[in-house]
C-alpha cells in the first residue's frame, strides 16, 4: 500500500489557541512539534504494518509546518501554498488516505477552532445542500480519484459528526475532546501514540479486507459558498455562470468534484486578495 496522509493542526492534541495556528504565534513552535510528533507516530505504525511508502500533505495555513528533517526515508512531503487541491495535493497514485489533526465544520458546538478552509473569508461551504467540513470536501475529491479515506484522527466533534455519517467504515482516533472553541481535553502524547497505533492497525485492516468505500457526491455538483463579507461575494459573483444567492453567498454548478474544489480555491483566494487590500 502507498498511503496518503493529509495533516492539519486544529485537531492535533493540546492545540487550542490562535497562538498555536499562526506563523507569528507565541505557541506556533509548540504546535509544529506536536504535529510532527503525531505524524511520526502514524508513519512508524504504518511502516510496521507493511505500508511501503507514504505521501504527506502539510495542510495547515502556509503549509510549511512539519519539521522535514524528522521524516523517515520512505516518506515524501508535499509543502507550500497556494497549490492546486490544497490539503489533498499529491494524492494521485496513492491507495488509501489518512487524515490527521482534522477539525469540525463551522458552527459545530464544542469544537476547537471550527472553520472551513479559511475562517477569515469563508463562513460556510455547501455541496449539494450539505454543509461541509474539510474532511468531507477532501474526502469527496479523493473519492473521485478512487482513493478511500480509511482513518480520521482529530477532534471528537468531527469524528462523531461527519466522519461517522459519511465514512462509517473509517478508523476514528479521538485526539482531543473540545470544551469550547478555545479549550479541550487531550490525552498525553504516550496515550496518543497508542491511540494512533490502534487506529492505523484498524485502517490497514479495513483497506486490506476491502471494507473501505469511496465518499462521493452525485453530479452535477452544486457548490454554495457563504463568505464573511459581502465584499468577497461581490468579487466572487464575477465568475462566469455563478449565481448570487444572497448578500454573502454565491452558487456554482460544477461537472465534477475536482472542478468544484478548484472553483472554491479560486474564489477563496480572490476573497483573500480583497481582504489584504481593503479589510486587512
For residue 279, pLDDT over 90 is answered with no
What domains can be seen in the chain, in order of their start residue? 2-104+134-208 (3.40.50.10780), 221-279 (3.30.1360.130)
pLDDT value, residue 135: 98
Pairing, β 171-180 against β 149-155? parallel
Give the residue among 140, 127, 179 at the shortest CA–CA distance from 157.
179
pLDDT value, residue 277: 84
pLDDT value, residue 280: 56
Q: How far is CA 79 from CA 59, 74, 170, 234, in A?
A: 8, 16, 26, 31
Segment 28-74, tens digit of pLDDT: 999 999 999 999 999 999 999 999 999 999 999 999 999 999 999 99
Mean pLDDT for the stretch of residues 206-220 = 97
pLDDT value, residue 246: 98
pLDDT value, residue 278: 80
For residue 259, pLDDT over 60 is answered with yes
Whether pTM exceeds 0.85? yes
Q: How far is 220 from 163, CA to CA, in rounded Å?
A: 23
Segment 111-148, tens digit of pLDDT: 999 999 999 999 999 999 999 999 999 999 999 999 99
State residue 53 phi and psi, 5-degree precision.
-155, 160
- Chain mean pLDDT for the chain: 97
pLDDT value, residue 70: 96
Burial (Cβ within 10 Å: 0-12, 13-18, ≥19) of residue 166? buried
Q: How far is CA 278 from CA 122, 171, 271, in A?
A: 16, 44, 10
Percent of the chain with pLDDT over 70: 99
Amino acid at each position: 500500500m502507498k498511503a496518503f496522509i493529509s495533516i492539519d493542526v486544529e485537531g492535533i492534541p493540546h492545540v487550542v489557541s490562535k497562538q498555536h495556528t499562526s506563523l507569528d504565534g507565541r505557541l506556533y513552535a509548540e504546535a509544529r512539534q506536536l504535529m510532527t510528533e503525531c505524524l511520526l507516530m502514524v508513519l512508524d505504525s504504518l511502516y510496521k504494518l507493511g505500508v511501503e511508502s507514504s505521501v504527506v500533505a502539510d495542510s495547515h495555513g502556509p503549509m510549511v509546518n512539519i519539521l522535514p528533517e524528522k521524516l523517515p526515508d520512505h516518506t515524501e512531503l508535499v509543502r507550500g501554498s497556494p497549490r492546486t487541491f490544497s490539503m489533498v495535493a499529491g494524492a494521485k497514485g496513492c491507495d488509501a488516505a489518512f487524515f490527521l489533526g482534522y477539525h469540525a465544520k463551522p458552527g459545530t458546538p464544542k469544537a476547537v477552532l471550527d472553520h472551513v478552509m479559511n475562517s477569515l473569508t469563508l463562513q460556510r461551504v455547501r455541496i449539494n445542500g450539505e454543509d461541509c467540513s474539510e474532511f468531507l470536501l477532501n474526502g469527496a475529491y479523493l473519492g473521485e480519484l478512487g482513493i478511500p479515506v480509511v482513518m480520521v484522527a482529530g477532534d471528537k466533534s468531527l469524528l462523531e459528526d461527519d466522519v461517522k455519517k459519511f465514512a462509517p467504515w473509517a478508523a476514528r482516533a479521538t485526539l482531543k475532546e473540545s470544551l469550547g472553541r478555545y479549550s479541550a481535553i487531550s490525552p498525553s502524547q504516550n496515550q496518543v501514540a497508542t491511540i494512533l497505533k490502534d487506529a492505523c492497525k484498524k485502517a490497514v485492516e479495513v483497506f486490506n479486507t476491502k471494507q473501505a468505500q469511496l465518499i462521493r457526491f452525485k453530479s452535477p455538483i452544486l457548490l454554495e459558498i457563504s463568505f464573511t463579507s459581502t465584499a468577497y461575494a461581490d468579487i466572487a459573483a464575477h465568475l462566469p455562470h455563478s449565481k448570487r444567492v444572497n448578500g454573502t453567498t454565491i452558487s456554482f454548478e460544477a461537472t465534477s468534484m475536482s472542478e468544484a474544489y478548484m472553483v472554491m480555491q479560486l474564489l477563496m483566494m480572490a476573497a483573500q486578495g480583497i481582504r489584504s487590500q481593503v479589510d486587512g
